[in-house]
Amino acid sequence: MRKLLYLTFSMAIIAALAWYAMWTADRPMGHYLSDLRIRLAVDQGTPADRGNLLGIQPELFPTDYQSTERLHRKLAAYLQQAQDQGLLNEKTVVVLPEHVGTWLMISGEKDELYQAATLPEAMNWLAASNPLQFARAWLSARGDSRLDDAHLRMKSRDMAKDYQALFGGLAKEFRVTLVAGSIVLPEPSVIDGQLKAGGGALFNSSVVFGRDGAPIGQPQRQMRPIFEQNETGPSQAPSPVTVVDTPAGRLGVLIGNDSWYPDNYRRLDEQGAQLVAVPAFVVGHGAWDLPWRGYQGADAPASVPLKPGEVSEGQAWHRLTLTAQAPGSRAAAGISVFLRGQFWDKPATGQSFLSSNGQQFTDGDARGARLLNLWL
């Protein structure tokens, strides 16, 4: 009798494991509808032979990331509409928002993930449907937020490959210089023309792709590893701020709140930056209009008199982003591009804006997908 019970129990375990293995391997592709429209919200300046800065504020949802083909279809539709309106030329620099590449972590997943009600629930499905990848990532995760670290780390090699194929491919397809927003990867670097994920700390990074689809220089990392504040031991030195050459001029990229630090503009000035791109991201219902929360644990620059709560989040972005505001920055023009959309219970709510000659230009109604163009 004991042997029979043992055999029955073993068979049940084997059957359960076999079912789980088949479930994790099954990746059905559901029906997909997406709004491919985009409106030209700001068109500043006069067309000339110096090129233009073109910000694409996309409206994206989890199902747009179900495959890289779907995401390509949507972003290519935006670029095609820009081309139809005469906004693309050989000197165009296109800028995408922060974290547009980070969500590649959910590419190729099960329907349950995309149908989840909350972000934590979706991340639970991500781990459950990739048990071996998640286990390996958990072992190498850092800091107190090990779960979040593991979620971001577990598919990093595929994410780096997909990011380059997608955004490098778009740059080549439309023959533009493309600031590909940002992506969170461990110790990212470009080796022999290929973006690679390393094994160290997670960095929010951006790659600029040339008109041939190849990366220009190394990834621009955000100042600190994203989980550094939870780690023990000495702080790592901030990542250097660098400039790359584009057909429209020398370009610097400041990711997110890196654009709040006057010293970063000084470093760009020292390298002759003429243009500054700021891929950005603000999350939360009505967050753009809520009181600004300050530097949130990071040391505020002594030269910044602004205090938390004095202005709204949106007003703080406009005041702290010093592009084309002498003497804070000697760049001729800049653009801050935010992601819009709904990622489960986390809406992305920033409003993109342009900077030129000490003035800022924005769209009063930032809902949905928007193009913001500045002729140089």
- Give the domain CATH number at 178: 3.60.110.10
Q: With 70 as the cut, is the pLDDT of residue 36 above it?
A: yes
Confidence of residue 239 (pLDDT cuts 50, 70, 90): confident
* Range 6-17 average pLDDT: 46
Q: Which pLDDT score is estimated for 67?
A: 95
pLDDT-wise least confident of 4-18, 193-207, 237-251, 360-374: 4-18
Q: Which pLDDT score is estimated for 24?
A: 47
Q: Could you tell me if 140 and 171 are in contact, meaning their C-beta atoms sit under 8 angstroms apart?
A: no
Q: Which pLDDT score is estimated for 233?
A: 36
pLDDT-wise least confident of 81-90, 345-354, 359-368: 359-368
The residue ranges of DSSP E strands in the chain, in sequence order, are 39-44, 52-57, 59-60, 92-95, 177-179, 183-186, 189-191, 194-196, 202-206, 208-209, 220-221, 243-246, 249-253, 275-280, 333-338, 340-343, 346-349, 353-356, 359-362, 370-375
Q: With 50 as the cut, is the pLDDT of residue 249 above it?
A: yes
pLDDT-wise least confident of 78-87, 224-233, 272-281, 363-372: 224-233
Q: Which pLDDT score is estimated for 4?
A: 47
Q: Which pLDDT score is estimated for 322?
A: 82
Q: With 60 as the cut, is the pLDDT of residue 41 above it?
A: yes
Q: Which pLDDT score is estimated for 2?
A: 56
Confidence of residue 232 (pLDDT cuts 50, 70, 90): very low
The Cβ of residue 209 has, within 10 Å, a number of other Cβ atoms equal to 25
Helix (H, G, I), strand (E, B) or coil at 126: helix
Q: Positive or negative CA dihedral for 137, 108, 193, 78? A: negative
Residues whose CB falls within 8 Å of the CB of residue 203, separated by 6 or more in sequence, listed in order: 184, 185, 186, 187, 188, 219, 221, 222, 225, 226, 239
Q: Positive or negative CA dihedral for 121, 59, 313, 231? A: positive
Helix (H, G, I), strand (E, B) or coil at 89: coil
Q: Could you tell me if 328 and 339 are in contact, meaning their C-beta atoms sit under 8 angstroms apart?
A: no
pLDDT-wise least confident of 66-70, 230-234, 299-303, 353-357: 230-234
Q: Could you tell me if 184 and 226 are in contact, meaning their C-beta atoms sit under 8 angstroms apart?
A: yes
Confidence of residue 17 (pLDDT cuts 50, 70, 90): very low
Taking the C-alpha atoms of residue 234 and residue 282, their distance in angstroms, rounded to an integer, is 29
Averaged pLDDT of the chain: 88
The model's pTM is 0.90
Q: With 50 as the cut, is the pLDDT of residue 336 above it?
A: yes
Domain count, the chain: 1
Residues whose CB falls within 8 Å of the CB of residue 120, separated by 6 or more in sequence, listed in order: none
Q: With 50 as the cut, is the pLDDT of residue 104 above it?
A: yes
Q: Which pLDDT score is estimated for 117?
A: 95
C-alpha to C-alpha distances, 306 to 281, 315, 319, nearest whole angstrom: 20, 11, 9
Q: Which pLDDT score is estimated for 302?
A: 83
pLDDT-wise least confident of 337-341, 357-361, 371-375: 357-361
Structural domain harbouring 278: 2-375
Q: With 50 as the cut, is the pLDDT of residue 22 above it?
A: no
Q: Could you tell me if 40 and 369 are in contact, meaning their C-beta atoms sit under 8 angstroms apart?
A: no
pLDDT-wise least confident of 69-73, 86-90, 227-231: 227-231
* Range 243-264 average pLDDT: 95
How much of the chain exceeds pLDDT 70, in percent? 87
Q: What is the CA radius of gyration of the chain?
A: 22
Helix (H, G, I), strand (E, B) or coil at 60: strand
